[in-house]
Each structure stands twice: as C-alpha cells, then as structure tokens.
Structure 1
Amino acid sequence: MNRLKRFFLNLKFRYKIILTYFLVSIIPIIILGLFCYQQTKNLLLDQERENLRKSFSEAVIGIENSANVYSNILDYTTFNPMILEVINHEYKSYYEMYYKFHNMLDPYIDMLRALHNDIQQITVYTSNNIVKHSDYIMPMEVIENNIWYKEVLGKYKPQWFIDSEKNVFLAVQFINKGYNDIQNILYVKINSKNFFQPLYNISSTNCGIYVVDKNDEVVFENRSYDDGKDYLLPSTELKKIDGDTITYDNINYILIKIDMKDLGWTAYLYKPVHLIVESSKNIIYTVFFIMGICVLIILVVGYWLSYIIVNRIEKLTKNMKEMNMDHLEVTIESNSEDEIGVLINSFDKLIVRIKTLIQEVYKSEISKRKYEMKALQAQINPHFLYNSLSLINWKAIRSGEDEISEMAQLLSTFYRTSLNKGSSIITVENELNNTEAYVKIQSMMHNYNFDVDFDIDNKIKGYYMINLLLQPLVENAICHGIDQKRNNRGKLRISAQQKGTDIVFEIEDNGVGMKSEICERILTTRTKGYGVKNVYDRIKLTYGENCDLRFISIPNEKTVAIMSIPVEIDKNKFND
C-alpha cells in the first residue's frame, strides 16, 4: 500500500489529474457494463434452460408414448386366448404342434412386426414341452441364467431392460392360471436407435443426454458439440447433482432431470454454460465497444483538461529547473488571476530580487575567497624563506647532514610551488611536484613508516589548474587514514590520469576508512585548517558544475578521494 501511495505521489501532476479523472469516470462505466453483461447472461441462461426443458420434456414424452404402445402390445398378447392356447396346449404330435404354430402363432407375430417396424424380435419362452420354433418359441432354460429373467419372474407387468449391446427390450410373464402352472415369458426387442430418436435430435444441439435405469446403468448416452470439443460429463457425476447446475473439470453445466416413471428410468440433459453465453457474443461485443468509446472519450477529455490546468505549471517547473547561478531568467508569463497566475507572477518577482542579491552577495563572496587566498600567500616573505632554506641546506651539506639537507630542499620546493609567485594558476606538473615534496616531508616526519606510489600520466603535466588542490587531500589521507592505522604498513597511492576531457586525481590510503555518512558529510563540514571543504569550494567556484570531488571508503580497509577537473591548456582562460 505504501509503495502504491509513493508511486502516486511521484507521478507528474498532469498524470495525477488524468488518472483521477479516468478512475472516477471508468469505474461506474465498468460496473454498469458488468451489470448489463451479467443480466444478459442470466436472461439467456434462463431462456435457454426453459427452451431445453420444453424440448427435452417433449422428447421424453414421445419415448414414453412409444413405450406405452409396446407395453400395451405385451399386455394384449399375454391375454390373447389364441396365444395362450398355442403355448399352453398339451400336444399329441409334432404335426399338431406345427399346425398351431404355422396357422395361429406365426400370423399373429408377423402381423405385429408388420404394424410396428421398430420391433426386431418377439419371442415366447415357455416351460411347456414343445420344440423350438424359429425365434418365436424357445424353451425357458435358454434364459434361466439371465439377470432380467429373475426380475420378470412373478411379475405380470411389462419390465424394460437394456442388454450388454445397448439393445432395448421388454419382457413380461404370462398369467397361466388353469394351464397346469406352465411358465411363459414374452420377450420383445426394440430397435434402440429408432426408440431413442427424439433424444438423438435433442442431443445434436450442443448438449449431452443420459438415460439411466434404476440401477444407475446407462441405458442411452449421446452428445454433440459444434466446436468439435468433447464436453463429457461422466455418468458417475450425476449422483452429485444438487439443483439445476453442476461443475466438472472446471466447466459449469446446466442440468435438466426428468423421471420416466413408466419405464423406471431417469433422463438427464446437460449443456456447458459457456456455449449458451457464446450466443450473446454480439450483445457483449456491443457493450464492450460502447465501453471502449466511453473510455476513449474520457481519455481525450481528461488529457485536454489536464493540459489546460497543468500546462502553465509544467512550464514554470521547467523554467525553475533550467535556472542556475549564471542563468536566472523567467521565460513564462501569465495574465490569469487564478492561483497559478499568482504563482507565476510571484516567481518572476522573486527571481528579480534573487538576481539583485546575487550581484551583491555572490560576487563579493568570490572576491572574498580570492583575497583570502592572496592574504594566505602574502603571509610568507618568499625571498626571506628561500634564503633561509638555502642557508640551512648549505650548513647541512658542510656538516654532512644529508637528511637535513634533503628536508630543506623539499621545503624549498614545497613553498615555491605553493606560493607560485602569487598566482593561483599552476601547471599540473608543478602541482604534482608540490604534492611529492609534501609527501616526502611527511614520510621523513613519520620515520618512513608508509610507502608512496605515484601513477602519473605524463601527457597531462603541461595542462593548467588552480594550485593547492592535491596537498590538502594528501594531508587528509595521512592524518585521518594512515596515522590512525594500528597494524600493517601504511600505503599511499597518488594517481593522475586524463579521461576524456577531464583530469582525474585519485588519492588512496589503506588507513582506517570511514562510514558512508561521514563520506557524505566531509564536503559540507568546515575544519580549522585549509581542509577538504576548502578544496571543494575552490573547484566549484572555479569550474562550476564541470568538476567533482567525492570519497569512497570501506571501514578498516581503505579510503579513496576522487577529484575530476576539466582539461585546460590555456592559462589565460582563468580569471585571476
């Protein structure tokens, strides 16, 4: 949440206005669009569910009517005296048996099959002692091991079944009172495709249909989808039904259930919801198209309004960013009297006042720094100093004190390059000589307890720079770095290289280092002597934004001072 808040606060004011306007406008549009879509979807689902229920119910009623016809045929046949006479008669000869079969049974069964083309087989299974006759008469022992035989036995109402090959048939036991308890069962096999044809017609409209018996065995199953995919809902999932919807494999289905009471079966119709919703694509596309137009209008109007409101603020911000100490100009005007107009006009007056103060304060500060530097150089009488050091050197040579002689020569070199005949401009070579003399003096004073490594690019020695920039940085490295070290030998590296249009100086020591917060504070903290901050102020006054001084330090390992100044080959370009 904080990150989102920070992101919003850091946005440009123009984008804040556009985003706010967009959110305030688009949220109601999205809510309205989603509401319309949901209402349309629910309406289509209700309408499609009702249409499917009506069509499915008509198909089921058609099948039940056909089933009633066949049940009536069985009832009529089982009570037909002629049929009862044929199957229960006690025959004296095969000729008598053949005569009754040929003249009484065969014509009757042929008539039924002729009137009802869907009947594929009519068979009477009997325990009477008669021979098999085509598939019209068969002995009872043929079916005694079948499961359906046990379910039919003792029941005198037609029972519906389906065999292992999905063939539909029905069977009923004859009422044989007065016929010496002979058992007879009438079996009628129906053309299942024609019988379930109404369900085939329904299932061809992007849906699936199951018909299951009382034992949950599938009697009929068919499905068809226009998109070529198979949205199969296993029959085992039907037991999990709770209401008129079901979800399987992340697909939602609407479900219609109808009980076929006369048959003892249950019919199920299922259809994926998304196939129903697809029919509303045109409506949905229209809603989204209108929403898109609204969003586009909102963005255009929002951008136009934000431009009118923010344009002057952006110009003022840009004008403020472009300003520096040498370019204080107001490039924006406003005649409006609103808050932004007042801000612009007040800013103009402020800049005029600042420019006046700059002329008085900033220029005087530069002069003050230059006079301070000249005063520092004037504190020492160069001729007196050089003569004194020369005398010390001569006396040391005569006395054989080589170290004192070297010290006097180094002091002479150091002060000669430091004073630089009263000029603040010096060659890089002389600045390096000054630094080298200072380092050697410090080495002698420290009893040579640290090593010095110079890495100098010779081609930069002829360039010009302001003097006394390196010595304070080296002094800082020795006093606050190497002197504070308690173990290992001190090391000091002084590097001067040209990189592009800059000269980059690096003073590195292996002293105690310092924390990052001290590195950030060292350039803003003034010390008693001629320290690091003075160096930073001088290069900024001289070179402006084209220079840099920074510190990189690792505690207990090292500190590196990195100073970069522009290459300058013309001494006269410096304004003394």
Structure 2
Amino acid sequence: MARQTQEEALSDVLLQTERNITTHVDDFRHSLSLLTENTAFQSALYTENISMFDRYLFFRDTFDPSLDYIRVTNPAIDRILFFTDSSYANQRLNILSLEGMKEFPLDPQKLRSNNAQWVELDTETLGVFGGFPGSTSFKTFVLMTVKKKDIFPAFYSSEGRILGGIFLENKQIYPPNPIDFTKHYQAKIENTPWTLYLNESSLPKTDSTFLFIAIITILCSIGIAYYMSRFFTRNISQEITHLKQRVNRSLSNDPKPILIEQQEEFLELSNDIQDMLEMVLTLQKENYNNHLESKDREYQAMINQINSHFLYNTLSAVNWHAVISGQEEISYAIQLLSKYYRTTLNKGKNKILLQDELDNVQTYIDLQLFLHPNRFTVNYDIDTTLLEVPIIHLLFQPIVENAIEHGFSQDLPNQLLSIKTQRETDDIFSIKIEDNGTGFNIEQLDNIFIKKAQGYGLSNINQRIKFYFGDKYGLLFDSQEGMGTLVTILLPILSEDSTIKEF
C-alpha cells in the first residue's frame, strides 16, 4: 500500500513538473512569435534601400517598444539577439550580421517559419531560436536566451537528494550534477527535444526494523550521556550556578563588576567573562549606533525612490501630452531622458552588466545627437561574448562625455567617436573610447583628468577600478594635440555571478 502511494505521488509530481516547464516553453514560443510574425518587422527588414529617417522611425515606433513589451510580459528572458543580412545588421548592439551566428550552436537549416529551435548555449544557459518568414532577398533570425534555473525546477529535496533531471537524448543538461538512475519515470516536454526524468530511488525509504534499532540506540546513548554528565559535573555545578547568577547581575541595566575571592576555583574564568561582558556592552552600543545610521540610510533611500518615481511619472505624463499633440521629436527626447535616468540609477546597485552599461552610454550619446544633430558620428565595435561580464556602474559614461564636450569642436567636420570592447588576455578585457577631435597636450590632459564630470572626476574612476579589482587595472590615456584622444579601460573578465561590493 505504501509502495503504491509513493508511486502515485511520484506520478503527480512528474505531471505537475512537466506542466510547469511546458508553460515556460509556451511563454517563450509566444514571445518569439510576437517578433517573427510582426508584419511591421517583416516590412522593415525586407525593404531594400531604406532611408535613415525610416530606419529611425522603425527603431523608435516598432523595434524598441516591441522588445520592451516582450521583456515586461516574459521577465525570464535574459537576452534578445537578431541575426540578419539586411541593412539593419550592426545598427544596434543586439542586431548582428549572419556571421555572428557562428558564435552560437545554431542550425538555421532546421528552422521553418512556424517553429522554434531550443539549443543549449552553455552549462547555465538555453536559447530559443526562430526565423522570420522567408524573403527572396534577406534572411533574419532571432535568438532569446534564458538561464536554465529560471525555467527548470531545482530537482533537489530538502535533504539534498537529486530528485530528477532534464535530458537531451542521452545527455543530462540540468542539473549539472550527474544522476545515476536505477528506476525512473519520464515525460516528454512538448515542443522541445527534452525528456524529464524523476528518480524513484531518491524518495525516502521506510524500514521499520532499522527505525526501531535507531530509536533504541539513540535512547540508550542519551541515557548513558546523561548519567556520565551528572557524574563528571557534580563537583563543579554549584560554582557554575554561582557564576551564572553573577553574570546575570552584570547584564542588568546597571552592570557591576564580577567580584571573585582569590581562593575561588573559577577566578581566571570569571575575569575572562568580565572582560567579555565589557566587550559585549561596547559592541551593543556600537550596534545600536549602526542601527540608527542604517535606518537613516533606509529613509534616505526611500526618499530617493519616491523622487525617482515622481520624475518617471512626470516624464511619462509629459511624453503622453507630446504624443497627443503630435510632437514626435519632443516625445522621442523625453523617452531618451527617461531611459537614461533609469539606467543611470541602476536601482541603486553598484554592479552592472557590460550590456546594460553600454545601453546607458548609447542613450547618453543619442541625447547628445538630439541636442547637437550631425555634430559627430559614432561607431560601435562590441565583442558580444563580453556583454554578460559584470563591471562597476557609471564606469565610462563620464569618459564619453569628456570626449564629446572637450574633444569635439563645433567647427570641425567628420568628427568620429568610436567605442570598442575586446579581449586582451584570458582574464582581462578592454574598453576603448577614441575620438578624432582636437586632442590635448600634457598640461591640458592633467586638467581634464581632474575635471569633474557626472559628479566625479576621471581620476575617481581610475581609483574606483583599482579599489574594486586591483592595481593592474585602470585607465590609460593617449592623446596628441590636433590628432584626437584614446582612453583605454582595463578590467577583469568576471563571471556573471561574481560578487562586487555594494555600499
């Protein structure tokens, strides 16, 4: 009977787990179809010789709002990448050429316009890969990535046993620890190549004989330990009780020193306890002061949060009025300003992914181009394998600001700003910000290095990098008067789950 009950329970768990995973899979298929079946996307991507203004309208009215909507409705999505051979390739950080597909284990030959292909990108990440309906001129695909832990259950019991896993053919893809099944239940995950297994041997087994022996052994051990403890502590119990009473008196609101006569056996122990109590009282006072400071910081953070919400709501209201009034340029500027403010705040966190920091810089540059049209052009050369590397917040936006404000002149034509990321070694990468502006001599460069931008100087950025990552990282400057300036930031290649100190 107990055996049958266990099997029924395991079958119920299998069915519920399969339904939960299928729900996540369906959510991703739906998100993918919102893009691949979007006629506005298809029309823009398959139009030859599209003008720069029409391309700008596509990004503003279709591309960015669609991606924002999908991320809101499906928070499990980690990244959204496009691969195309149309003129849109490399126009955004997440729009790559078809050559970029070689970095991922994708097989475009297996795709049809009405299906999605799930692939394992690495030990922690999955991707769902889909194609846009065919065109005789262009090919376009989209890849959405998700962390395995966000769609698969933990598969661990409260005792730490592995209860099951997800397999692709004979290869286990989750959890990473190998499972040795003796007898298992399985279910095919719909619309995926995965099979769900649950391990019967991981369930707790009941053995009444073993349980009886264990209980008797424990009771006997407790009895023996009790009588032995009474035997060995009988002679000192009175002294310990006496000392305890004095400690309790010392922990009162008006503590007094523990007075021990020289002939008492616990003189040294009592003196040590007295020192410990004095330290405890000191730490309690310090902890109370720290608690007050913490509450003050929490209050200030709450005020800042309220202010940020007020600003977001105000910008949203102004944007709505601009849209109603047909003021498209004003609406576009307000949207840029709102996005820049959001990415700059970063929810108060010090740690940020390189992808998000690049979004902040790109938004700042778009605002500058809105304020000063045609003043300069910008070129991005980004190593996509570094986008998930964590760095510290507000790292190179002040450097970009310095290049625009001090490097470019209103009178010079063909001014160019370049932003490039690349691996230097296996554990070091660089961010290079280069302009072909006026450049600086040594004296001017020293002044620029200490000039404040965005609330702190470039020397502060260099100090922050060395504080968090070590002296071998930081800023390098190379500038020639009349030739331009190159600023190189050297940073470590950390894993996404690496910890960076927060304040």
Report TM bin, short chain: 0.3 to 0.5
Larger Rg: 1
TM-score by length of 1: 0.33
TM-score by length of 2: 0.38
